[in-house]
C-alpha cells in the first residue's frame, strides 16, 4: 500500500501547485498586452489540466495496473469539475479574479488531451 501511494505524489504535488496558481489575486499577474494577444492564459489552462489528468491517470494506472478506460474518464471528469469549481472560487473569493467560460473550455481541452494521451499510451488495443 505504501509503495502505491508513492505514485500519487506527483499528482498531489501538481494539484497543490495548480490550486495555488488558480487562487493568486489578479494583481499578481502581469498586465502585458501581448500575452492576451496570444491567449497565453488559455494555453496555461490547457497545459495545467492536461498534466493534471495525465498525472492522476498515471498514478491510478501504476497503482492498479488497470487497463480499463473508465478510471481515466473519471479522472478527466473530476479534473474538469475541479476546474469549474476553481472558476467559482475565483469569482467569489479571489480579489481581481473573475469567472471565465473561456478558462473552462481551455480546462476541458486540457483534460481531453491528457485523457487521449493516457488512453493511447496505457490502454492495450
Tell me whether residue 78 is in a domain.
yes
pLDDT in tens, 72-122: 999 999 999 999 999 999 999 998 888 999 999 999 999 999 999 999 998
Tell me whether residue 26 is in a domain.
no
Cα-only R_g, the chain? 16
Tell me, what's the pLDDT at 38? Answer: 59
- Name 60's Cβ contacts closer than 8 Å, sequence gap at least 6: 66, 71, 72, 75
Tell me, what's the pLDDT at 40? Answer: 84
Tell me whether residue 47 is in a domain.
yes
**Domain housing 56:** 2-13+37-122
Tell me whether residue 91 is in a domain.
yes
Tell me whether residue 31 is in a domain.
no
Tell me whether residue 42 is in a domain.
yes
- Name 65's Cβ contacts closer than 8 Å, sequence gap at least 6: none
To which residue does cell 496555461 refer?
Answer: 44
- How many structural domains compose the chain? 1
Tell me whether residue 19 is in a domain.
no
Q: What percent of the chain has pLDDT over 90?
A: 66
Tell me whether residue 27 is in a domain.
no
Q: How many helices (H) and strands (E) does the chain have?
A: 6, 0
Round the average pLDDT of the chain to a whole number and report it. 89
Amino acid at each position: 500500500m505504501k509503495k502505491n501511494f508513492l505514485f500519487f505524489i506527483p499528482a498531489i504535488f501538481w494539484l497543490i501547485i495548480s490550486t495555488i496558481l488558480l487562487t493568486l489575486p489578479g494583481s499578481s499577474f502581469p498586465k502585458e498586452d501581448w500575452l492576451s494577444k496570444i491567449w497565453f492564459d488559455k494555453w496555461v489552462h490547457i497545459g495545467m489540466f492536461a498534466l493534471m489528468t495525465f498525472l492522476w491517470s498515471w498514478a491510478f494506472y501504476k497503482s492498479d495496473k488497470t487497463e480499463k478506460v473508465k478510471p481515466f474518464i473519471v479522472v478527466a471528469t473530476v479534473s474538469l469539475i475541479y476546474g469549474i469549481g476553481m472558476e467559482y472560487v475565483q469569482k467569489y473569493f479571489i480579489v481581481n479574479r473573475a469567472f471565465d467560460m473561456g478558462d473552462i473550455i481551455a480546462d476541458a481541452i486540457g483534460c481531453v488531451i491528457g485523457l487521449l494521451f493516457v488512453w493511447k499510451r496505457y490502454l492495450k488495443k
